[in-house]
Structure 1
Amino acid sequence: MQEQIVIVGGGAGGLELATMLGRKLGRSEQAKVTLIDRNSTHLWKPLLHEVASGALDSRMEELDYRGQSARCGFEFLLGTLESVDKDNKTIQLAAIRDDRGKEVVAARSLSYDRLILAIGGVTADFGTPGVTDHSYFLDSLRQADRFHEHLLNEFLRVNKSIGEGNATKLSLAIVGGGATGVELAAELIHSVSLLSIYGLSHLDRKHFEVCLVEAKQRLLPELPERLSKLVEKKLSSLGVEVMLNNPVIEVKENTLVLGEGEPIQADLIVWAAGVRAPDIVNDWGLETRKNNQIKVNQYLQTLSDEAIYALGDCAACPIDDARWVPPRAQSAHQMAKRLYRNIVREYQLKPPKRFVYKERGSLVSLSRYSAVGNFMQSKSLSVPLEGTLARWAYASLYRLHQRVLHGWWKMFLLLLVDKLKRAVKPRLKLH
């Protein structure tokens, strides 16, 4: 009888794992591999800040789960995980409803022999009052598209007001000095610099204010301090106001209340501070950390049930007694690769190997202006990267994700297609 391998979450780790298992075990009918996601398409999450700013048209980069499943030997189901029954090895999927609330597909129950949770993470608000009501998040394509739509409306409003002779400015505040906040700030500056090409000639960088607020003492704590300072200097040269060591204690409509100093007024507020697993994880009877991440052992099995695994942003995997695997795309990629190999080893009657996280360094894109990062060759040797070389390295991360999904040949074809699209498509998405 075929083993039922169910993967919930089609992000970087979940989709890569489903693709690899489908090709190896699904096609040969050694196992039935099922991927479940609440969306019909996949977009690599590190691209969301580009979608939000208009630098990227998401429709050009989305991957259809059903098409991928047909090519790679796994089954795809559209659905949202509602509950996990560990005793009976079943999961419950919520009913699917249309935009009018009419039920399209009834709630379903699905059996599993091996359940892999790869549901990703969401932005942590740290219990700060008003965040949910008055901020934008960039955890999903839908949220990025929503922010982009409102950003375009603000572009039109402010451009018209300036054209009528009013001393108007568009102000935007970003909370969180990690990769998402830093990259979004740079992309927004670049987007505004392109507006005159597309008829919005009044709104330019002089009329656009971006404030980046970070509670800690420096930006990008995962980078060496020298590179962090370099990023801060570059952002400042682009006109971004960087505020450090000053946590936000409340968010009101168009206002950030800070721990120290005057409140910050902003037309748009983006919250990009911290990562946690979704709250619903706590209802599944699994052992979790305070940030809702599911605790796993060195084989990525949950501490509560060895038939249930977790990987990616929702997994709390220890590196040592004091550190945890960071919630990054490279972590999800490494976990998916190790878990795939361990499952295959079991089919070959070999024991699984422990997951060992390998720090490869961090890379941050500053839009078309620059990129910085560090490449970890070993625990003691870190090679700093800046400028063109760093930009190439940053772009290669996405290409490696495509290679896993499509193979080398199709990955190179996609690279060529992307180059052609950039030559014929507008440089900024304004719809």
Structure 2
Amino acid sequence: MKQQILIIGAGFGGLWSALAALRLLDQQQRQDVTVTLLAPQAELHVRPRLYEPDAASTTAPLGELFDAVGVNFVQGTATQIDTQGKRVSYVDATGAEQALAYDRLVLAAGSQVARPSQGGMDRHTFDVDSLASALELEDHLRSLRTLPDSPARNTVVVVGGGFTGIEAATEMPARLRAILGDSAAIRVIIVDPGKRVGIALGSQIAEVVAEASDTLGVQWRTGTLVTAVDANGVVLDNGERIDARTVIWAVGLRASPLTTQIAGERDRFGRLHTDQNLKVIGQDAVYATGDTAFVPCDDMGNHALMSCQHAIALGRSAGNNAVADLLGLKPIPYSQPKYVTCLDLGAWGAVFTEGWERQVVLTKAEAKELKIQINTQWIYPPAPDRASALAAADPLIPVVA
């Protein structure tokens, strides 16, 4: 019977884990190990682009690639992980309960937005965290044109001034004008607890965000929190009410709930602590990658972030090292010392930074050109050609040169 590497999730971490695992098996000329990937669909939802209009167009099919490289794809949703029995239970496409055995497990189940249950925040907000929720937001925005002109109809409140919130907010003026027309008195407001506009991203990048926001007409309510949301607006902790028919929640990611079924230490986002090879500390046969893994990415005290930039490299390392462990080979420790950001700022352009201090390198049109290249080329899966796809999964390839 063949041994099995089982990967849960078809996001960036899961996809690149599968390719890296197959790459090492190919190099070792091993035909006695199967790489199985369990996910609801054989497609990559390009999450970093879900703030854009037409979210459906950002989905990348994976079926041809899986066939080309030899991934055994199983359609289903994981429900239970039994680390003692080395089995994963799942619900298949028909709703039936099934199970898969594994010799090594790679958990790449990603993360999800976490809303507070109080104050209507879980019932009256939209998000761009998943394809389904981004499509729901699109439908809602299009429906605004059927409503009478009013301040509430024309106002979008974005809760959270981090990366997701800023990208969603700065894209929103153009999206609203396309739906409501140029004469509509649109308002886009970011509510953030930071004392200055964009300060959570660092002082240099904050200045650029402030300039772009002013140019685009995006307002900020800094130093405050949303305490309640209803169908017609939000209430802030300073007592201000903002009438808005659209509230986007862009704060509070948590690692997949599947992480709670694996014994181990977790960080404040629910990510499992791993060693440098991505093996979950205290586990013999379980690896975590992408948004489920808490691991240092350099020797300066920095840890991998919940981003595709890190998930791609984490996936390459996890898949390679799960196979190396199974075959008794030397692992390749995960290392990703270079960190960059490229933040989309709507019609204003973008900003590109280098280093953990986010030193600004490019802005406006130059940065926007790079952002488009990243979003439409660099982060997409490789072509369904076995040789080139497996070569691209080398864990020693830097994601950012």
> Counterparts of 1:106 and 1:61 in 2: how far apart (Å)?
30
Structure-to-structure mapping, 1:151-162, within 5 angstroms: 151-154=141-144, 156-158=145-147, 161-162=148-149
Residues 332, 291 of structure 1: alpha-carbon distance in 2 compared, 3 angstrom cutoff: same
4+ aligned runs moved over 6 Å, structure 1:
407-411
What is aligned with 2:348?
A: 369
1:280, distance to aligned residue in structure 2 (A): 4.5
Residues 212, 381 of structure 1: alpha-carbon distance in 2 compared, 3 angstrom cutoff: closer
Deviations 1:234-265 (Å, cap 9, x if unpaired)? 11221211111212233333332222241222
Whichever residue aligns with residue 72 of structure 2, its letter is: E
The question of whether the paired residues in 2 share the 8 Å contact of 1:236 and 1:242 is answered with: no
What is aligned with 2:168?
A: 184
Structure 1 position 276 matched with structure 2 position 260:
no
> Counterparts of 1:119 and 1:366 in 2: how far apart (Å)?
29
Whichever residue aligns with residue 50 of structure 2, its letter is: L
Aligned with residue 84 of structure 1, among 56, 81, 86 = 81
Structure 1 position 4 matched with structure 2 position 4:
yes
The question of whether the paired residues in 1 share the 8 Å contact of 2:92 and 2:98 is answered with: yes
Residues 409, 286 of structure 1: alpha-carbon distance in 2 compared, 3 angstrom cutoff: closer
Structure 1 position 123 matched with structure 2 position 125:
no
Aligned with residue 292 of structure 1, among 242, 245, 270 = 270
Residues 20, 205 of structure 1: alpha-carbon distance in 2 compared, 3 angstrom cutoff: farther
> Counterparts of 2:381 and 2:306 in 1: how far apart (Å)?
21
Structure-to-structure mapping, 1:216-235, within 5 angstroms: 216-221=194-199, 223-235=201-213
1:207, distance to aligned residue in structure 2 (A): 2.0
> Counterparts of 2:47 and 2:383 in 1: how far apart (Å)?
15
> Counterparts of 1:348 and 1:284 in 2: how far apart (Å)?
23
1:386, distance to aligned residue in structure 2 (A): 0.7
Whichever residue aligns with residue 130 of structure 2, its letter is: S
The question of whether the paired residues in 1 share the 8 Å contact of 2:106 and 2:289 is answered with: yes
> Counterparts of 2:265 and 2:183 in 1: how far apart (Å)?
49
> Counterparts of 1:302 and 1:221 in 2: how far apart (Å)?
34
> Counterparts of 1:328 and 1:167 in 2: how far apart (Å)?
35
Whichever residue aligns with residue 135 of structure 1, its letter is: T
1:353, distance to aligned residue in structure 2 (A): 3.0
> Counterparts of 2:385 and 2:32 in 1: how far apart (Å)?
22
* Secondary structure, counterpart of 2:51 in structure 1: helix
> Counterparts of 1:250 and 1:132 in 2: how far apart (Å)?
10
1:340, distance to aligned residue in structure 2 (A): 3.7
Deviations 1:346-369 (Å, cap 9, x if unpaired)? 577542132223242111112243
> Counterparts of 1:408 and 1:400 in 2: how far apart (Å)?
18
> Counterparts of 2:153 and 2:357 in 1: how far apart (Å)?
47
The question of whether the paired residues in 2 share the 8 Å contact of 1:169 and 1:207 is answered with: no
Name structure 2 gaps, 5 residues minimum. Answer: 390-401
Deviations 1:311-356 (Å, cap 9, x if unpaired)? 1112222457975321111110121122344346557754213222
> Counterparts of 1:57 and 1:348 in 2: how far apart (Å)?
41
Indicate the percent of aligned positions where both proteins have the same amino acid: 25
The question of whether the paired residues in 1 share the 8 Å contact of 2:339 and 2:354 is answered with: yes
Structure-to-structure mapping, 1:190-205, within 5 angstroms: 190-195=174-179, 203-204=181-182
Structure 1 position 114 matched with structure 2 position 104:
yes
Name structure 1 gaps, 5 residues minimum. Answer: 97-103, 412-431
Structure 1 position 387 matched with structure 2 position 389:
no
> Counterparts of 1:264 and 1:381 in 2: how far apart (Å)?
32
> Counterparts of 1:93 and 1:75 in 2: how far apart (Å)?
16
Structure-to-structure mapping, 1:21-60, within 5 angstroms: 21-22=21-22, 24-25=24-25, 29-50=31-52, 54=53, 56=54, 58=56, 60=57
TM value normalised by structure 2: 0.85
Residues 284, 410 of structure 1: alpha-carbon distance in 2 compared, 3 angstrom cutoff: closer
Deviations 1:119-163 (Å, cap 9, x if unpaired)? 111113356532211111222111111111111001x224xx35x
* Secondary structure, counterpart of 1:207 in structure 2: coil
TM value normalised by structure 1: 0.80
Aligned with residue 146 of structure 1, among 121, 124, 136 = 136
Relative to total residues, which structure has the larger helix share, 1 or 2? 1
1:408, distance to aligned residue in structure 2 (A): 12
The question of whether the paired residues in 1 share the 8 Å contact of 2:55 and 2:134 is answered with: no
The question of whether the paired residues in 1 share the 8 Å contact of 2:5 and 2:33 is answered with: yes
> Counterparts of 1:220 and 1:20 in 2: how far apart (Å)?
37
Deviating more after overlay: 32-41 vs 104-113: 32-41
Deviating more after overlay: 175-184 vs 248-257: 248-257
Residues 129, 315 of structure 1: alpha-carbon distance in 2 compared, 3 angstrom cutoff: farther
Residues 300, 401 of structure 1: alpha-carbon distance in 2 compared, 3 angstrom cutoff: same
* Secondary structure, counterpart of 1:364 in structure 2: strand
* Secondary structure, counterpart of 1:299 in structure 2: coil
The question of whether the paired residues in 1 share the 8 Å contact of 2:279 and 2:287 is answered with: yes
* Secondary structure, counterpart of 2:10 in structure 1: coil
* Secondary structure, counterpart of 2:380 in structure 1: helix
Deviating more after overlay: 131-140 vs 341-350: 341-350
1:284, distance to aligned residue in structure 2 (A): 4.0
> Counterparts of 2:102 and 2:200 in 1: how far apart (Å)?
38
* Secondary structure, counterpart of 1:402 in structure 2: coil
Whichever residue aligns with residue 139 of structure 2, its letter is: E
